[in-house]
Structures are given as structure tokens and as C-alpha cells.
Amino acid sequence: MNHRAIDALDKGFAVSTWWPGWAHLPRDTRDALFLLGVIAWTVLPHTGHLPAWCIAMTAAVLLWRARLALLQQPLPGRWAVAGVLVAAAALTGWSHGTLLGKDAGVTLLVVLMVLKTLELRARRDALVVFFLGFFLVLTNFLYSQSLAVAAAMLIAVWGLLTALVLAHMPVGRPWLRQAMGIAARAALLGAPIMVVLFVLFPRFGPLWGLPHDATARTGLSGTLTMGGMADLVADDTVAFRVRFDGPPPPPEALYWRGPVLAQFDGRDWRRLSPTFPAALQPGAELRTRGDGIGYEIVVEPSRLPTLPLLEATPDSGPDAPRIDGMRLTFTPDLQWLADRPLTDRVQLRARVYTDFAHGPARNVLGLQDYLELPSGYNPRTLEWAAALRRQSAYAQADAPTLVQAVLAHIRRENFSYTLSPGTYGDERGRHAVDEFWLDRRAGFCEHFATAFVVVMRALDVPARVVTGYQGADPVLQDGWVVVRNSHAHAWAEVWMAGRGWVRVDPTAAVAPERIQRSLALRPPPGLVAGALGDVHPELLAALRRGWETLNHQWNRWVLNYSRGQQFDLLRALGFSAPDWADLGVLLVAILSAAALGGAAWAAWDRWRQDPWKRLHRRLRERLGDLGVAAGAHEAPRTLAARVDAALGAAGAPVAEQLRRLDRLRYAEGGAPLRPGAWWRGFDRAVRVARRQRA
């Protein structure tokens, strides 16, 4: 055999020694590898929030510890571990600027946990790792409360419980499947108590209270720049869900009002800072017609305090919007504002009147703010408006006539509706409206809305930009209307004498399908989504709807389970006017009943799990009736020999029953012991032996 063959055999032997196979690993190695895998699974959701050095250190330490376990090498000394810990603490302070707070605390917790695996010298070290792991599971919910994270953490808890069971099974080599089964049964036994505590334990808010920066998402902002809203079309996440008491309004009536922007600096639109006293400002003066439609809305977290309620939702009546623990304000421009950003998911009821009018019917001084335009910007557009005014047909025209003239211009001049119009204006964003209105004529909804408002102001008609959402998904999800961030939209409002503020959506003039059928533009799909769409066009949409419906139920019944729902449950159970006292009494009663039931079950389980001792005591008593002494330590075969010696042929049936019991008890692979069936045969044999002796 040549040297290369010998080297190959040596390498193969080294590999087989390093990884002999799971079934042939030593018990300590197998348990350590399983625990390391569970730790890695628990840390995995944190990788998006941990510094790069912490992720690298965690992976390196876990791989190092796995190698030590496989090669049966000694663990490093305490001083080496302490040195790594000091370095990690210094890096944490450098990365987060502090050793306190949520992010720094989670980073240190991960470091402590993985370093503790290098000190698994005794059972108490393993217990420290287990409980650090359980605490690390909880910290995942500081960043995300999604159903996917909850499922991953459920698996992590199962793994940690399995590792804990393995640590308390030191004898032999128990199957991992056996330990996992015991852990699952233990968790299932505790599940009813967990459910009762979740449902009835008094609460003052959602299940998980998170820091404000944990759940803020993209969405509408408080400003608008031409081209900025088009980026939202790529965000297909759910913005909010709505369930109407009756049939939903048609898509063209679904205008969900967000920030109203009226102050223009030539580039950005912002909320108005009035130049006139409040007494001279136009009020809401909301006038509704009809009975309205009640609806329930669940708004996802966002970075704004604005509630995107349907136009128009008034602030009076039994369905006026309310949120526990939050103060809501109805502004003169029909916005609904909370007293803080919506960093948590909120749910409320309201009533909408799609047939409405609002704003002052007569001119007020404050309307002058809605005519302001910055000097030196978009001169060609201002000249275009002046030329329109110089035409005899429009010299003395009122606002409705001018609105129709401008919309006719949009239809006539072949404007196009597109997601990628490019950048407008010069390097500082100046004269963007000029370029859009007179040159390129291609844009998204905010291009049309902002240019329309500039033109109307140039025509001396008060106007403002309204942002929000328009339309919804055409298919309901479990009875809920779904509105996504990709439904973000911008439109205009103009003031008309005798009518007040009137919605005008210039996008409908160039892309009516966007408004009438909620057919928003979409960016090109990715490779996987495109392939699925080619194979089955509806499959991807159906899968997404199913997953989002499941997430919605999770959000509604778990994350947003509130005291109102607790009281609704008490009413369903027969409490006429439930309060905290009723909730506490019911909780204590159920927990007390559960404690008594647990004690009874433990007593029964003790009786069920140890039938042999009871059976041996009874058979000793019956053998005493035959005059045969039997000790508590003696096996059935020993007692059978004593019966043969004492009773002879008369005791043969009794001795045979005792030998049968010995086989049932001790024979390898024997049938399971059924005390009742065996006892009946033994009892008959004892009665026969007593008659023969008599």
C-alpha cells in the first residue's frame, strides 16, 4: 500500500473519530451538542439587532464549544473566559454607547449565555444556561411580536425544556425522542393554566409592552416631496384592516384621510402654520347626510400620530372614535390625531358618512393661507395659469369651472401615470412643477396632486394637498377589508364658495382605474414571485392572504387582547356588569379548582404508577391466610418455592400463579403486568388451596 493510501486511511479515521455519528456519541457530547443547537436557534432571531462582532463571537464560541465536545477536550480556564467577557463588555459599550438599556442588555445577555457554555462543568452550570436561555427567549419579543417569531420561540422553549429533562436523566443513554416527549407533555400539562392566566389576568394594555422604537414602520410621513410617495408602492405590508357593519363602500369612495399639507416651500409640502388667529381660520363645519356606516379598524404601528380614518368620520355620536389610554383630536381639516405616534397596534370603532360636505361655505380670512406660493419657483406654471385666466371664458370663472378646465388639460395633453418618472427639478429640486406640468407630463399621484394645487393657487383658488390611502384589496380576508402601504395616495382639496372644501383627485383624470377599481401600480415581481405567478397566477396571492389572515387573528386575539375583551367574556359567562373584582374572583376560583384537581391527579398518579407495591402487600396477606410467611423484600419465585415446601401438591396452583407473576414482572420482553387479571387467577388458586387444606 502506497503512502497516499495510508494518508487517506489516516484522514478517514480522524474524521470518523471526530464525528462517529449521533447514535455513537458519548452521552455528555450528545447532550452538549443538542444544547448548543438550541442556543443557536434561540439567538438566531436576534441577528438583525446584534452588532456584527457579537454575531461573530457567538458563532465562534458555539463552534469552538462543539469541537471541544466532539473531541472530548478539556474546557478553557476561567481566566480565559473572563478575558473574553471583559473584551465583550468593552465592545458593547463601544457599539451602544452604554452598558444599560435594551439593546446593550440583550447583547450582554447573548454574550453571557454563550460564554457560560464554556463552563459546563457541573449540573448547576447547565441550569444557569437553561434559565438564561428562557430569559433570552423573552427578549426576542422586545423586537418582534409576529406569529413567526412566536412559533420559533415555542420551538426554542421546547428545546430548552428537553435539555433540562436530559440534565435530570443522568443514568444510561436516554433517547432524545423520549426526553422531547417528556418536555412536550410537561408543557401541555401547564398549557391550561397558561391559557387561564392569559385570558383572565387583569391587564392595562396589550400583552407585550414594547419601547416605541421597536415597532415603528415605514408609511406616510408628515411631509411630501414629488417622487417620495412612489417608494411606498414597493411596500406591500398591511397598513390597516377594516370591517364594515354592512357592505363596504365602492372603491371610489374609499379615501382614508391622513396628513393634510398646505404649506409649500417650493420643494416640500408640510402642515400649515397659520398666519392668522384661530378665530379667522376655516373650521371643520362637517355636514353629513344619511345614516352612515359603522366600521371597526385595526391600524398597524406607524411613525405618525395620524389615524387613517375613512372620509368623513365625525367626532360626535355613539360611534365617535375612542382608544383606551390615548387622547384623540379631531382637527378642523378632518384629521384624526392621537396624542402620540401609533407605535402600537390600535383598534377602534367609528362611523363614516361618505355623503358629506365640510369647511366654511363663505370666504374667511384664513383661506388666504391656502393661496400662498413661494416666490421665484415654477414661473412657467404660474404664467400658464395667468394665460388661462386671460382667456375670456375663464376671466371671471368660478372655482368649479377652473377645476374642470385644469382636469381637461390633464386629459387632453396625454399625461401618463407611472412609478418611474425620474427626478424633477434642478439639483435643489426647484421648478419641479414646471418640468412636470409643461415638459415631461409623467408622474405618480403626488406629482398630479401637488402640481394641481399649485395651478389652482395660481388661479386664485384656495387649495391644499391631502395624503392618505385610497382603495383596498379587492378580496376580503375573513370579512376584513385590507389596506396596504402600497395603497398610499395623494389628492387635492379646493375651496368652493357655497360648498366648502371639495375633494378633487387629478389622478382619476389620467388613471381612472386606480380610483374606480383600486388598481394601483406595482413594481415588477422578483424572480421567485414571478415564477410562481407564471405557474399559478393566483397561488402567490392566495398564500399571502392566508398568511396575513392568520397573522391578523394572532394580532387581534393574542397581542391586542385587552380588558374590554376580558369584560366581554365575563358578560358571555353571565356577569351583568363585570368589573375588576369579578375578574379576580373568577381567576382565583379557577386557579383554586385547578390546584385541587392537580392534587387529586397527583394522588391518583401515585396510586397508578406503583401497582407492584400494593399487589405485593395484598399477596403477602393472602399467603399469610395459608400459613406461608412472606417478606416484603422477597420475589414471587422465592415465595413460590416456599409455597411448594409448605403446601405440597395442594399449593401447586398458588405456586404456579406466583411464578407467572415473576415472569410478568421480570422477564425481558414479557407481556405488561395487568394486576386485576392476575389477581383474579391468584385469588381463585388461594381459595382452592384453603379448601383442600380444610
Which has the minimum average pLDDT: 2-6, 135-139, 446-450, 661-665? 2-6
Nearest CA to 259 out of 6, 467, 526 is that of: 467
Residue 408 vs residue 567, higher pLDDT: 408
Cell (9 digits) for 118: 464554556
Sequence-separated (6 or more) residues with CB below 8 Å from residue 686: 622, 623, 625, 626, 654
Nearest CA to 282 out of 503, 497, 492, 489 is that of: 497
Displacement of CA 319 from its chain's centroid (Å):
29
Nearest CA to 643 out of 631, 667, 619, 627 is that of: 627
Q: What is the pLDDT of residues 26-68, one digit of tens each?
A: 777 888 888 888 888 888 888 888 888 888 888 888 888 888 8
**Bridge partners of 469?**
256, 488
Q: What whole-number distance in Å separates Cα of residue 566 and Cα of residue 197?
A: 11
The per-residue pLDDT for 560 is: 64
Question: Would you call the peptide bond into 312 cis, given omega within 30 degrees of 0 as the criterion?
Answer: yes
The per-residue pLDDT for 1 is: 42
Helix, coil or strand: residue 658: helix
Sequence-separated (6 or more) residues with CB below 8 Å from residue 279: none
Sequence-separated (6 or more) residues with CB below 8 Å from residue 679: 615, 618
Spell out the alpha helix ranges (H) of 168-300: 176-200
Q: Distances from the Cα of 5 to the Cαs of 2, 10, 11, 29, in angstroms?
A: 6, 9, 10, 31
The per-residue pLDDT for 667 is: 67
Strands 416-417 and 442-443: parallel
Which has the minimum average pLDDT: 273-282, 346-355, 558-567? 558-567
Percent of the chain as helix, strand, coil, to the nearest 5: 55, 10, 35
Q: What is the pLDDT of residues 228-249, one digit of tens each?
A: 776 676 677 888 999 999 888 9
Q: Distances from the Cα of 284 to the Cαs of 75, 213, 288, 304, 464, in angstroms?
A: 73, 33, 12, 21, 14
With contact defined as beta carbons under 8 Å apart, do 264 and 224 qualify? no
**Bridge partners of 468?**
257, 489
Nearest CA to 421 out of 602, 226, 288, 555 is that of: 226
Q: What whole-number distance in Å separates Cα of residue 591 and Cα of residue 579?
A: 19
Kindly provide the residue ranges of all beta strands, DSSP E only, lying in 187-262, ordered along the sequence. 224-225, 238-244, 255-261
Q: Distances from the Cα of 84 to the Cαs of 50, 87, 133, in angstroms?
A: 17, 5, 20
Q: What is the pLDDT of residues 60-106, one digit of tens each?
A: 888 888 888 888 788 887 788 788 888 888 888 888 788 787 788 88
Q: What whole-number distance in Å separates Cα of residue 296 and Cα of residue 273?
A: 33
With contact defined as beta carbons under 8 Å apart, do 232 and 218 qualify? yes
Residue 651 DSSP label: G
Q: What whole-number distance in Å separates Cα of residue 690 and Cα of residue 694?
A: 6
With contact defined as beta carbons under 8 Å apart, do 657 and 619 qualify? no
Q: What is the pLDDT of residues 264-304, one digit of tens each?
A: 988 889 999 888 887 788 888 999 998 899 999 988 888 78
Kindly calculate the radius of gyration of the chain based on its CA atoms and give it in whole angstroms: 38
* pTM to 2 decimal places: 0.63
The per-residue pLDDT for 209 is: 46
With contact defined as beta carbons under 8 Å apart, do 370 and 457 qualify? yes
Q: What angle do CA 30, 32, 38 make, to 5 degrees?
A: 105
